[in-house]
Structures are given as C-alpha cells and as structure tokens.
Amino acid sequence: MVLSLLTGVVYPLLVTGVAQLLFPSQANGTLVYENGKPVASALIGQPFDAPRYFWGRPSATSRVPYNAAASSGSNLAPTNPTLLKFVRVRIETLRVADPGNKAPIPVDLVTASGSGLDPHISPAAAEYQVGRVAKARGMGENAVRQLIVERTERRTLGLLGEDRVNVVQLNLDLDRASR
C-alpha cells in the first residue's frame, strides 16, 4: 500500500510539480497561442496545402495527418515502390503548385520524419517555397524571407541537429503580417 502511494501518487505529483516549476511551456505541451487561445503545439506539425502557406514535411501517420496518437515513421526502405510512388506524387504536387520554380526540391519536402509529426523543415525547404507563398499573399519575397530568418532555429548548443524552421509558427507569423 505504501509503495503504491509513493509510486502512484507522491512521485507523479513531485515530478509534475518540478516540471511545472522549471519547464512550464514544455510541461504543458509547448502550446502556441493566438489571441489567448491555444492553436497548435510547437512540436507537432499541421497539414498545410494552400499556396499561401509554407508546407511542412509529409506526415507518416495514417488516416489523419500529424496525429500525435499515431506517431510513427513509414518504415519503408528507400527502394520500396510505395515510398517511391509517394515521393513522385509529392514532387508533382510541389511542381504543380509552383510551376515556375525549377529549383531542386529539398528532400525534407518529400519525405516524412522519423516520428511523422515533425513541424520543422530545413531553411532550404522554406527558401524553395518563398516565391509561391509571396505571390499567393501579395507580399514581397524579401519580406517573406525575413520571416524565415526570424523563425530559423539554430542547432541546439551550436552542435546538435541542423538549422530548422518551424512551419506552424512561420505560417502564424505570415497570417499576422498579412492582416
């Protein structure tokens, strides 16, 4: 009974209290607020397919994109015909959305992340989309690029990971700038 009380009540309350005290944003899901209301999590992507928005990595979660309850990679090998078909379709979708863009498509725009939920793209993937987004919003490309620069997160501790852009937060910034 004592062990159940310690491990089932005291320990969870202690850990929750410490997390709330030291890391309140992370402990509450790293929520992104707009007008005082939660609209997203900074750690989970959202599906964007309108030309006026930056598009994130494809989601590998089945049925519902970016479903946090179904986090998983595709587990398809690079030579798997299903993956190759999906990549070709995604390339075609990107080309149709921006027919004048002849630049090479960054790989993170056609492949899912390991979790299938990643809200980040590379700065190169964001740059690839600048023309389409600027044209659809009637904004100058330099203004859109400035928002990318402001939303670019650098390597953690200058060593870990790669530079990345949070698509959810970038699209919210675009909406604010367009008002």
Query: What mean pLDDT is predicted for residues 11-15?
Result: 96
> How far apart, in whole angstroms, are the C-alpha atoms of residue 117 and residue 90?
17
> How far apart, in whole angstroms, are the C-alpha atoms of residue 17 and residue 9?
12
Predicted structure pTM score: 0.86
CB-based burial, 84-108: b 16+ in 10 Å, e otherwise:
eebbeebeeebeeebeeeeeebbeb
Each residue of 97-152: pLDDT tens digit? Answer: 999 999 999 999 999 888 889 999 999 999 999 999 999 999 999 999 999 999 99
